[in-house]
Amino acid sequence: MAVNLPAIQAEQLLAVDGIRLATASAGIKVNGQTDLVLIEMAQGSRVAAVYTQNAFCASPVTIAKQHQQTTAPRYCLINSGNANAGTGQQGDEAAIRCCELLAQQVNGKTESVLPFSTGVIGQPLPVEKIQAALPDLASGLSADNWFDAAHGIMTTDTLAKAVSKQVTIEGKQVTITGMSKGSGMIRPDMATMLGYIATDAKVSQPVLDKMLKQAVEQSFNRITVDGDTSTNDACILIATAKADNAEITAFDKASAQTLYQAIAEISRQLAHAIIRDGEGATKFVEITVEQGQNMVECRQVAYTVAHSPLIKTALFASDPNWGRILAAVGRSGLQDFDLSKVTIYLDNVCIIKGGQPASGYTEAQGQSVMDNSEITIKVVLERGQANDTVWTCDFSYDYVKINAEYRS
């Protein structure tokens, strides 16, 4: 059960002028579930993208990068249920073939199709099944299909993740809608997650690239469910230029900042939704590290805490076993680390002061925090002025069960 994450409603998702979407079932997933999604971008759209840093990146990631460098993208073809990763040259050929087949359906260029896959690693992509579903997919394009598309990209997700916003830029209304998927194998480092955000704003390519990079860095690259970076992670930002705003050509201008803040907020909401829907999650946990020498060491401490199985299982048990947090901070690998300056809080309850148990702390205080479904762990290092935050969840019995039975 997702942690305080309401199910989205179709009417909450706004169409973006210049974007059409379609879904179909190719039989990749069992029980006839939707497993193909097509996103069509209007001619003249600009696309920014970030991809997984996993060295064993999946074939669709390799091909998408190549295609994006070759010509302006017009389509995103997404399949769920099969990652087409760890499949070698056969996987590359399968990804290219799917792009070719879609291009034939829409009378476009193969290179204008960006392929994406998510699901089980190491299995051949069933190209024939995808080919059979493409006519229905291409004929079903509609501007109002964000809701169905958000469901179509899901794998172990229990809820679809999508959000819309509208902002006014120099008197002109601009729409932004985004969707993402992800529940396990989540430690994006770009980022299993996929994210697609579209706006009708007019934005230059350099500014669009910068907006996506910064938004991802403060959202999708600050979450972790289990510390595993997927082979298939990707996040795409599309600007169709269909709105009436003057083209945004400088990131520091007020118009750019208005749009960027909306994109960044959507990215954060989608990233948080992934954690709230983490496999088997019962807790949503914010880990903030303050007064570090730089943001890198703040993240180093935060991720050490976030990735500790002992802390994550204590969170699941609602056990205020603060010794596990202290131990994780101590092994985080900081150089010249003075533990006597460390202070640790559970929400507003101080559990460690000056590297030792806080005076007046009681087990009942810690228990009152750990009983909550949303918890903040704050670590104060007293080494500098830098701060950073990551978000994670607990490890429950269901996390083990979901991943033990993933291919069953």
Q: Which of 342, 346, 303 is nearest to 322 (CA)?
A: 346
Q: Is 224 considered catalytic here?
A: no
**Cα–Cα distance for residue pair 262/128, rounded to 1 Å:** 40
Helix (H) or strand (E) holding 399: helix 397-404
Q: Which pair of tokens denotes residue 97?
A: 């073939």
Q: Which pair of tokens denotes residue 179?
A: 């969707």
Q: Which of 271, 296, 297, 266 is nearest to 286 (CA)?
A: 271
Q: Which of 192, 224, 282, 304 is catalytic?
A: 192
- Give CB contacts under 8 A, 24+ apart, made by 93-98: 94/59, 94/124, 94/125, 94/127, 95/59, 95/60, 95/62, 95/63, 95/125, 96/63, 97/127, 98/125, 98/127, 98/130, 98/131
Q: Which of 39, 112, 28, 30 is nearest to 69 (CA)?
A: 112
Hey, which residues does 379 pair with through a beta bridge?
289, 344
Active site residues: 192
